[in-house]
Amino acid sequence: MPQNKLLPDTCAWIDFLRGKQTPLAAALEQSLLNSEVLTCGVVLFELLQGIKNPSEEVQVQNALQALSHLEMTRELWIKAGKLSSRLRAMGHILPLSDITIAVFALEHNCVVLTIDRHFESVPDLRIIKGPT
């Protein structure tokens, strides 16, 4: 039976790492136990830019270190550019960080865990939405 792969958006990690009792944090916690959870550089970047003290940095680094880390390639950058262009033509402008997450998820057959509604505009992207 194939494992589900989950690529949590930064918002899910923030709730989880801060110990918030939200459906998003609970879904991530459950996935860490039952699924293959992946991460990528843009999520690490977004988490680290919000660090308020050294202990938070250690917590973030430790939490993500054990996970499979996805890396951008030239081909994925091309796919990201094309996806962004298609979405813009449909009137949807997503931040580069979210385009990157979407491309990783599509390429690696992952589900994105997020509260960001704009992911819904990405064709064929599977998402698990937390409450907004």
Domains in the chain with CATH codes: 5-129 (3.40.50.1010)
Q: What is the pLDDT of residue 132?
A: 53
> What are the DSSP calls for the chain, one per residue?
-PPPEEEE-HHHHHHHHTT---HHHHHHHHHHHHSEEEEEHHHHHHHHHT--SHHHHHHHHHHHHTSEEE---HHHHHHHHHHHHHHHHTT----HHHHHHHHHHHHTT-EEEES-GGGGGSTT-EEEEPP-
pTM: 0.90
Q: What is the pLDDT of residue 63?
A: 87
Q: What is the pLDDT of residue 91?
A: 97
In order along its 132 residues, the chain shows pLDDT tens digits of: 345 899 999 999 999 998 888 889 999 999 999 879 999 999 999 999 988 888 889 989 888 998 999 999 999 999 999 999 999 999 999 999 999 999 999 999 999 999 999 999 999 999 998 765
